[in-house]
Amino acid sequence: MSKYFYSPVVGIDVSAEFSIVAILAPNGDVYKKSFKVVHDADGFSHLVSEIEKVEKEFNMKTGIFMESTGVYHLSLFHFLKNYNLEAYVINPLVTNCNKNSDIRKVKNDKKDAVSIAKIGKFQNVKAYSFLDINIFSLKCLCRDYYKYVDTRSTYKKKLSADLRLLFPGYQSVFADTTGATSITILKKYTTPEKIVNSPKEEVISNLRTTSKKNLTWCNNTYEKLLKTAQNAVQIGIPSTSFERKILSTISIIENFDQEINLLLNDIKAEVSSEKLSSYFKRNVDLLLSIPGIGFLTAVTLLTEIGDFQGFLKPKHLVAFFGIDSSVNESGKFKSDKNKISKRGTRIGRRALYAVALASIRTSKNGKAINPILLEYYKTNLSGKKKKVALVAVMHKLLNYIFAVLRNQKEYEQRLPKVHQKMYLENSCNAAA
């Protein structure tokens, strides 16, 4: 049962420029006709005055519910929280399941507002009321970082496709086509003919200046580059438009590199500033104690999690990240091909996936990044498909993250048998 079952409830259907508001009385009846609130200072103030009238008439605190609608609901939600009103945001998955409960197919903003109010009043739904502006700003910076990285990857693929036409085989010369050395060569020698016709000493000088590697490496690279260029002269498609496209794509990639570096600097500045609480900074340090988690990943995970106090069990955190298994059963049928739900935070799941990959790797000297998880991956998950095994590793990592944040203690690597023994000893001592 909802804690607002005997209280007045406000349901708000939010759109870009305005919202429709419905109010239910304590007995569940519609208190007054749904009304429109424009998204400006006067409109928000009018809504607050209407809510205060309801609270004064019934002498009860009012629950205010709205669904998450991208960024449209945030200004209104922040405004209501500043007035110390009990405002909550509901996941759209919950509201969508309840909006079309009638037999007739009717959908409009007024009906949706009433539906949201009924959900908040009669159903014990999970809704959040936490909004820290500084953490939210940091979360936006992290999401922008991943968005820029994805867009840059698109242009990297575009550059690779153009090179296959103009300069076939170029990708085999350099380990990273968009690395500093490769980009320098492409900007100076836009066609294979220019490399063939350029003096050897000039090309080697450019290679050595940019790569800062020894002369042997530069000579070997030049020989591979020259051979590839001679081959490309014969089989490549000569076109000045391809040259312009390659230079244009390189310029875009370099601009994205600059923006990504600026974003990283902004994220570091925000974390080290006085705006964020010592509790958040302490949690960043705690996550950094887990092998495989870097600074950006730690900040991303914490900003996506938000208020950790809302997660009572590790399973709650697993569901929030969308790596809980979906269920498909009907009668005697029980599917054994269930995928993860993917209904949680997409960016958080992406960061966690990167940590899982790092956790099962070894460094150059052969030392495991996380010996416990690597052994678990090789032994317990040896018969599983790679992605299934990685999801299991992600599940383990979320258990680690939950324990570290709950206990406010740094991560300690323990063998499963040792951990089990300690757990049994603590349980016996507690029982005694």
Q: How many Å apart are CA 115 and CA 22, to the nearest integer? A: 9
pTM of the model: 0.85
pLDDT tens per residue, range 151-202: 999 999 999 999 999 899 999 998 889 999 999 999 999 889 999 999 999 9
Q: Is the pLDDT of residue 93 over 70?
A: yes
Give the pLDDT of residue 103.
57
Residues 6+ apart with CB under 8 A from 421: none
* Count of positions (residues) in the chain: 432
**Average pLDDT across the chain, whole number:** 89
Residue where a domain terminates, one of 102, 131, 160:
131
Domain-embedded: residue 3:
no
> Pairing between strand 86-90 and 63-67?
parallel
CA–CA distance, 401 with 290 (Å, rounded to integer): 8
Determine how β-strand 30-38 pairs with β-strand 18-24.
Answer: antiparallel
Confirm whether 230 is domain-assigned. Answer: yes
> Looking at the 3D structure of the chain, how many domains does it have?
3
Give the pLDDT band of residue 41 (cuts 50, 70, 90). Answer: very high
pLDDT at 106: 65
Q: Are 414 and 315 within one domain?
A: yes
**Do 70 and 175 fall within a single domain?**
no
Does 2 map to a domain? no
- The closest of 392, 390, 409 to 290, measured between CA atoms, is 409
Residue 432, pLDDT above cutoff 60: no
Integer Cα distance of 202 and 207 in angstroms: 9
SS3 9: strand
pLDDT in tens, 96-132: 766 656 656 667 788 889 989 998 898 888 777 878 8
Q: Choose the weakest-confidence range: 30-39, 222-231, 298-307, 333-342.
A: 333-342
Residue 397 within a domain: yes
141 and 126, same structural domain? no
Q: What is the spatial distance between Cα 48 and Cα 322, in angstroms, rounded to a whole number?
A: 35
Q: Both 234 and 349 in a single domain?
A: no
Report residue 379's pLDDT band, with 50, 70 and 90 as the boundaries: confident
Whose tokens are 């000569």? That residue is 238
Instruction: Taking residues 144-150, report their average pLDDT.
Output: 96
Q: Do 282 and 172 share a structural domain?
A: no
Separation CA 303–CA 129 (nearest Å)? 15
Distant-in-sequence, close-in-space partners of 301: CB < 8 Å, separation ≥ 6: 287, 293, 348, 351, 352, 401
Q: Are residues 47 and 171 in the same domain?
A: no
| 79 and 160 belong to one structural domain | no
d(CA 162, CA 245): 8
pLDDT score of 190: 86
Domain stops at, among 213, 241, 266: 266
- Of 105, 131, 157, the residue at which a domain comes to its end is 131
Answer yes or no: is 333 within a domain.
no
3-state secondary structure of 63: strand
pLDDT greater at residue 310 or residue 59: 59
Which domain range does residue 62 map to?
9-131
Examine the pLDDT at 233 and tell me if it is beyond 70: yes
pLDDT in tens, 210-219: 988 899 999 9
